[in-house]
């Protein structure tokens, strides 16, 4: 085979290898950005989800050439450098300082670049990550003070949503207004749950005695699913419901209707608090 | 000759007597009931235990006494007792041959390695069987093969078998077998401890499996408090088994490091160690530093469940975050406990087929040690949305990305080795 004749010309092999890798990488990056990219989760229902989709596209576009380098390298070596029959030992190369330095320098640059970029993405001007950021987030989006607070209460095994600025009404249905910053205050009454509204780009653990805040700013109206993402016991899989993103006037109508519907029970609820002190539950469920 | 051989061969029942796995099992079962009885006696009048339908104190004491009985039956008490009676400290000169030796306390490193190999493989297949049973439930969305609680237990058992029972999957068989051969030693530094690390594995595995007789556990393999605190008796099986495995891992790490430090042959300097030995040292450091945290964490959950402490109970002043931090402080190094020996084995095998020396030996060593160091600083990336210290997210993002530098250098070693060689598949 022609490849065998080329064994003594490492430069020729290197040029061939990097040509294959370069062509494949350009193709793959184009495909990632323009074909796969728009399909990547979690979509663009909210500003936060849109930002996460963008981050997913960037990370995939950076990772694919690196993965291709490893795969193409091994694939090429397996094909090009195989010897059949009784060949002698391979060249006793112990190391190559220049290759090592180039590799270390490039991995350091990529890694530090991604870390700096990732931290910058968390900054308030960049809309935050949509994840639960604890009781006192230092990265607050603009207008966080005027955000609509909605409390998400997890318990075995259902979600309850409380609207403190609307008389503290509680509902099993979550509805949020579009084009308005919403602050989810996630807490739990018993064990650790995780409030996961995938299409909103929001995931925040619900922990007893903790007020875990996540901000979201919806672009489009529509429905989204809510799941529990932390194994919480027997009916974990049933902590599943559908939420609504409504237009401003629809939301006003919905909240008025809900307040009227639950007026009989709202005044019986405990006063609103960022977290509640339930009794310790042992051997339940 | 043959008649003489037959004449000295004792009958089967006589050969089964003595210190072996059979005696250990008998004493273990006896110890279990003794511990349960003591547990019931000491909790008389304690409403949080006897006032409910389950007595965690009795079950945990039962398990601990069962382990003690099992180890005594195997002969682990013989040496300390003999030392107390003034006998000299020495290893047994001759050990039994044949298949029977794999069911006894044996201080031969190759025997322990094979015990590990088949022992861990057994639990590996049990874990695989659990996965099959999970798939059986998922065949149909509307028809159910298992009760909901049993299904959750299967999920937890599968994860626990695969992560915790196979933690020593790589080091147990391969390092115990190859490490002394590679550094020119005749044995490991602590042969009795080496045997103990293996025999804790079947003890933990059987205790974990016994959860199916105690209504199982609902938490999956991570065992998050507070869910673990409200769970049924089967949770105690998980806690005791995981603590035993963690003790075993700690001792494995200790034994590996001590062997490499003290028992290298003359001339086998640190710079000449085979790369698999370096991988073993790195993994040993991980085990020695990470696993004791797990022993403590499991003990704290046991205390919460038995004597009503409140380490992890939010309403009583504790925090579920504490459990998450402690668990993942072990849980992330655990990833590398499984991965580094695999990397090291690949780097050891590649040069054989490439017929070429190791490429970039110092880089590979630095890679292993770098992964070891950094893996203790990344655990909160499992908890990014938990609400713990959101201001630390950039730090954990940085460390998590930094760890790909040493990992990448290990990949470079593999690639440097295969480049330009005439590799052969035979």
Chain B residues whose CB is inside 8 A of the A232 CB are 227
Using the beta-carbon criterion (under 8 Å), do A235 and B218 form an inter-chain contact? no
Residue A19 token pair: 């040509």
Q: What is the mean pLDDT of residues B113-137?
A: 94
Peptide bond into B63 cis (omega under 30): no
What are the CA-CA distances from residue B232 to residues B29, B161, B205, B238 (Å)?
22, 19, 19, 11
Residue A162 in 3-state DSSP? strand
Using the beta-carbon criterion (under 8 Å), do B398 and A119 form an inter-chain contact? yes
Q: Bridge-partner residues for A271, per DSSP? A: none
Report CA dihedral (A95, A101, A103, A105) to the nearest 10 degrees: 160
Q: What residue ranges define each of the domains in chain A, with the CATH number in brackets?
A: 2-82+98-121 (no CATH), 144-266 (2.60.40.420)
Each residue's pLDDT tens digit, B148-199: 889 999 999 999 999 888 888 888 999 999 999 999 999 999 999 999 999 9
Nearest chain B residue (CA) to A87? B422
Nearest to B59 by CA among B68, B45, B49, B44: B49
What are the CA-CA distances from residue B55 to residues A281, B45, B46, B49, B59 (Å)?
16, 12, 10, 5, 7
CA distance A43 to A199: 7
pLDDT in tens, chain A (285 residues): 334 444 456 788 889 999 999 999 999 999 999 999 888 888 889 988 988 898 899 999 999 999 999 999 999 988 888 877 766 777 777 778 888 899 999 999 999 999 999 888 877 666 667 888 888 887 788 888 899 999 999 998 999 999 999 989 999 999 999 999 999 999 999 889 999 999 999 999 999 989 999 999 999 999 999 999 999 988 998 999 999 999 999 999 999 999 999 998 888 888 888 888 766 555 543
Q: CB distance from B220 to chain A under 8 Å?
A: yes
Using the beta-carbon criterion (under 8 Å), do A114 and B320 form an inter-chain contact? no
Kind of pairing between the strands at A175-177 and A240-246: parallel
CA distance B414 to B346: 8
Q: What is the mean pLDDT of residues B52-70?
A: 92
Using the beta-carbon criterion (under 8 Å), do B394 and A94 form an inter-chain contact? no
Residue A281 is predicted with a pLDDT of: 55
CA distance B260 to A210: 47
DSSP secondary structure letter of residue A219:
-
Q: Bridge-partner residues for A240, per DSSP? A: A227
Peptide bond into A157 cis (omega under 30): yes
CA distance B371 to B409: 10
**pTM assigned to the model:** 0.91
Give percent of chain B above pLDDT 90: 62
> Which of A92, A236, A281 is the closest to B230 by Cβ?
A281
Using the beta-carbon criterion (under 8 Å), do B310 and A13 form an inter-chain contact? no
Chain B residues whose CB is inside 8 A of the A103 CB are 408-409, 412
Using the beta-carbon criterion (under 8 Å), do B232 and A283 form an inter-chain contact? yes
Q: What are phi and psi for residue B293, nearest 5 degrees?
A: -60, -35
Ordered by start, the domain boundaries in chain B are: 13-43+52-84, 117-418
Residue B45 is predicted with a pLDDT of: 82
CA distance B386 to B346: 37
The CA distance from A217 to the nearest CA of chain B, in Å, is: 18
Q: Is A148 exposed, middle or buried (0-12, 13-18, 19+ CB in 10 A)?
A: middle
Residue B11's pLDDT band (cuts 50, 70, 90): confident
B381-402 burial string, b = 16+ CB within 10 Å, else e? bebbbbbbbbeebbbbbbbbbb
Q: CB distance from B407 to chain A under 8 Å?
A: no
Residue A124 is predicted with a pLDDT of: 64
> Which of B220, B321, B394 is the closest to A119 by Cβ?
B394
Residue B6's pLDDT band (cuts 50, 70, 90): low
Residue B142's contacts (CB-CB under 8 Å, 6 or more residues apart) are none
Using the beta-carbon criterion (under 8 Å), do A138 and B321 form an inter-chain contact? no
Question: Angle B218-B219-B222 (CA atoms, 0-180°, nearest 5)?
Answer: 160
Each residue's pLDDT tens digit, B321-343: 999 999 999 999 999 999 999 99
Residue A144 is predicted with a pLDDT of: 84
> Which of B218, B361, B404 is the closest to A111 by Cβ?
B404
Peptide bond into B320 cis (omega under 30): no
Residue A50's contacts (CB-CB under 8 Å, 6 or more residues apart) are A43, A44, A201, A219
> In which element (H, E) is residue A152 found?
strand A148-155
Using the beta-carbon criterion (under 8 Å), do A204 and B408 form an inter-chain contact? no
Using the beta-carbon criterion (under 8 Å), do B424 and A87 form an inter-chain contact? yes
Q: What is the mean pLDDT of residues B261-288?
A: 94
Q: What is the ipTM of this complex?
A: 0.89
CA distance A116 to A118: 5
> Which of B52, B220, B227 is the closest to A191 by Cβ?
B227
Q: Fold for B117-418, please state it.
A: Cytochrome C Oxidase; Chain A (1.20.210)
HSE-CB at B378 with a 13 A cutoff on CA atoms is 20
The CA distance from B396 to the nearest CA of chain A, in Å, is: 10
Q: Is B96 exposed, middle or buried (0-12, 13-18, 19+ CB in 10 A)?
A: middle
Size of interface A-B (CB pairs under 8 A): 208
């Amino acid at each position: 085979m022609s490849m065998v004749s080329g064994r003594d010309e490492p430069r020729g092999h290197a040029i061939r290898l990097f040509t294959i890798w370069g062509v494949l990488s350009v193709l793959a990056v184009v495909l990632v950005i323009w074909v796969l990219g728009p399909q990547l989760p979690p979509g663009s229902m909210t500003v936060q989800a849109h930002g996460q989709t963008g981050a997913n596209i960037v990370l995939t576009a950076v990772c694919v050439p690196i993965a291709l380098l490893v795969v193409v390298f091994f694939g090429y070596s397996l094909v090009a450098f195989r010897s059949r029959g009784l060949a002698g030992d391979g060249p006793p190369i112990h190391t190559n300082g220049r290759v090592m330095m180039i590799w270390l320098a490039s991995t350091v640059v990529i890694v530090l670049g991604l870390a700096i970029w990732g931290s910058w993405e968390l900054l308030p001007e960049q809309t935050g990550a949509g994840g639960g950021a604890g009781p006192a987030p230092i990265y607050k989006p603009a207008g966080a003070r005027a955000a609509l607070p909605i409390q998400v209460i997890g318990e075995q095994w259902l979600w309850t949503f409380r609207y403190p600025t609307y008389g503290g009404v509680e509902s099993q249905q979550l509805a949020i207004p579009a084009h308005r910053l919403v602050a989810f205050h996630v807490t739990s009454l018993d064990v650790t749950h995780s409030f996961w509204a995938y299409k909103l780009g929001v995931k925040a653990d619900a922990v007893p005695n903790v007020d875990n805040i996540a901000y979201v700013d919806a672009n489009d109206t529509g429905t989204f699913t809510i799941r529990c993402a932390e194994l919480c016991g027997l009916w974990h899989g049933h902590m599943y419901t559908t939420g609504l993103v409504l237009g401003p006037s629809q939301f006003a109508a919905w909240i008025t209707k809900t307040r009227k519907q639950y007026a009989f029970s709202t005044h019986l609820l405990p006063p609103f608090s960022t977290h509640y002190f339930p009794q310790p539950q042992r051997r339940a469920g | 000759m043959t008649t003489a051989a037959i004449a000295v061969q004792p009958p089967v029942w006589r050969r089964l007597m003595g210190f072996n796995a059979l005696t250990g099992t008998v004493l273990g079962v006896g110890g279990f009931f003794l511990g349960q009885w003591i547990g019931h006696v000491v909790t008389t009048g304690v409403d949080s235990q006897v006032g409910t339908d389950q007595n965690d104190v009795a079950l945990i004491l039962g398990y601990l006494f069962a382990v003690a009985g099992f180890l005594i039956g195997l002969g682990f008490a013989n040496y300390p007792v003999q030392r107390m009676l003034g006998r000299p400290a020495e290893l047994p000169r001759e050990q039994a041959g044949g298949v029977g030796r794999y069911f006894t306390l044996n201080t031969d490193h190759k025997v322990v390695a094979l015990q590990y190999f088949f022992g861990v493989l057994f639990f590996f297949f049990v874990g695989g069987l659990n996965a099959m049973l999970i798939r059986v439930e998922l065949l149909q969305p509307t028809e159910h093969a298992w009760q909901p609680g049993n299904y959750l237990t299967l999920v937890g058992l599968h994860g626990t078998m695969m992560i915790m029972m196979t933690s020593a999957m790589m080091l147990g068989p391969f390092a115990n077998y190859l490490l002394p051969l590679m550094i020119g030693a005749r044995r490991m530094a602590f042969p009795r401890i080496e045997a103990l690390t293996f025999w804790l594995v079947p003890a933990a595995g059987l205790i974990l499996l016994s959860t199916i007789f105690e209504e199982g556990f609902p938490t999956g393999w991570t065992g998050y408090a507070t869910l673990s605190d409200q769970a049924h008796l089967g949770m105690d099986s998980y806690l005791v088994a995981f603590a035993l495995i963690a003790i075993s891992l700690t001792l494995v790490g200790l034994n590996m490091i001590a062997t490499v430090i003290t028992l290298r042959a003359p001339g086998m300097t640190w710079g000449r160690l085979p790369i698999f030995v370096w991988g073993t040292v790195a993994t040993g450091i991980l085990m020695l530093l990470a696993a004791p945290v797990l022993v403590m964490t499991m003990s704290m959950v046991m205390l919460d469940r038995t004597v009503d402490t409140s380490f992890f109970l939010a309403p009583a002043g504790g925090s579920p975050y504490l459990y998450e931090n402690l668990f993942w402080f072990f849980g992330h190094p655990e990833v590398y406990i499984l991965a580094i020996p695999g990397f090291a084995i690949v780097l050891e095998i590649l040069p054989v087929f490439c017929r070429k020396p190791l490429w970039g030996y110092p880089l590979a060593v630095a890679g292993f040690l770098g992964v070891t160091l950094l893996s203790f600083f990344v655990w909160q990336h499992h908890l990014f949305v938990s609400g713990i210290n959101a201001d630390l997210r950039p730090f954990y993002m940085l460390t998590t990305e930094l760890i790909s530098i040493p990992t990448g250098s290990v990949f470079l070693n593999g690639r440097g080795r295969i480049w330009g060689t005439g590799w052969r598949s035979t």
